[in-house]
Copies of this chain bind each other. A is one copy, B any other.
Amino acid sequence: MNREVIAGIDLGGTKILAGLFDDRGQMLGKKRIPTDAAGGLQAVLDRMTGLIAELKGRHAPEGKLRGVAVAAPGPLNSETGLVYETPNLKWKEVPLREMLQEVLQVPVWVDNDGNLAALGEYTYGYPQEYRTLLYLTVSTGIGGGIIINGELYRGSDGGAGEFGHMTLVPDGPVCGCGNRGCLEALASGTAVARTARERVSRGRMAALREAVKGCIDKIDARLVAEMAAAGDGEAADLMDEAICYLGIGVANLVNLFNPQAIVIGGGMSGYRGLLQRVEEVVKERSYSSLSRKLKILPARLGSEAGLMGCLALASRKVKCEDSGRPFGIPADRWPGMVR
């Protein structure tokens, strides 16, 4: 069958997740492989293009690839597809779109992973429900994206929505970005692990020390969260501190953007009670006229938010050759689906 397909790639610092979609937005197949960033730029590109070839060969060998959308980390220019810098991949000024297009010979679109995850949650997670929505992901780092009136807001250089790099404690801990007291340095998984290690090495959190048999390097946010959930008071306090900072960051976003909804995803967001606690802090710290109608919601797409954002991006770029319908929108929702 000569069906049309598009591919999405969520390029992370440690993993590459790719998916192949048909014109109704049905995922035909997906695969996750290690990024192996240490191998260098060309090797990563080869793995990306190889992965697309593999998925297409398996799921749509006769199909026509209409384009490839890429969710890439770090600040970048979504119009030119130039990636300015990605600390995780150690890339600088990489013309990702151009390089991929040359190999793939189809249109390639590149956008920030936080932006595309936001677009994914907006389009497929909570379809049509909230026209002005912020998406926050809280895991190793804290990022996100901004949807205003149903469109991605990228700022004047494509760099808007760096939620993790809002200063909340001017003399706080040093952040990976070089600044001090960023939300990411206070409330991310990395921040929780760092604080836990500090406390253990200062003789506190005895239960945690015991759990890692004194090997402080083994402490990570997941373990702290598990111990908190299992009833360890010190671990619970540490989690609560981080979540309060997250709440303060979200309260700031409410007072600045006055969105209809804030969707929170990422590994840390699964911690029991996190959303409710964030909501409490937001009620305390933002204007009641703004927080009253606000919805604070769990992400629905999990680790596929970026990939679904790739599909959403492609559906804004490509029309089906037969019907003129935007690519990736189920036929029974078109026309009528507001985007």
Q: Complex Cα distance A300/B32, Å? A: 54
Q: Complex Cα distance A328/B261, Å? A: 37
Contacts of A159 in B (CB 8 A): 255, 258, 287, 289-290
A226 to chain B, nearest CB (A): 27
* Interface-side segment among A14-22, A33-41, A165-173, A302-310: A165-173
Whether the Cβ atoms of B257 and A177 lie closer than 8 Å is: no
Q: How large is the interface on A (under 10, 10 to 19, 20 to 34, 35 or more residues)?
A: 35 or more
Known A-B contacts A166-B255, A168-B168, A170-B169; A287 and B75 likewise in contact (beta carbons under 8 Å): yes
Task: Known A-B contacts: A84-B289, A167-B252. Give 20 more (CB < 8 A).
Answer: A131-B156, A148-B148, A148-B153, A155-B257, A155-B258, A155-B259, A156-B258, A157-B293, A159-B289, A159-B290, A160-B256, A162-B255, A162-B290, A168-B168, A169-B170, A170-B245, A179-B284, A179-B285, A180-B285, A256-B256
Look across to chain B and name the residue whose beta carbon is closest to the beta carbon of A186. B170
Look across to chain B and name the residue whose beta carbon is closest to the beta carbon of A153. B148
Contacts of A260 in B (CB 8 A): 156
Whether the Cβ atoms of B168 and A256 lie closer than 8 Å is: no
Whether the Cβ atoms of B166 and A75 lie closer than 8 Å is: no
Whether the Cβ atoms of B285 and A160 lie closer than 8 Å is: no
For this complex, 23 residue pairs linking A to B, each with C-beta atoms less than 8 Å apart, are: A84-B289, A85-B289, A148-B153, A154-B258, A155-B259, A156-B260, A157-B258, A157-B293, A159-B258, A159-B287, A160-B258, A162-B256, A165-B286, A165-B287, A166-B256, A167-B168, A167-B248, A167-B251, A167-B285, A168-B170, A179-B286, A180-B285, A256-B256
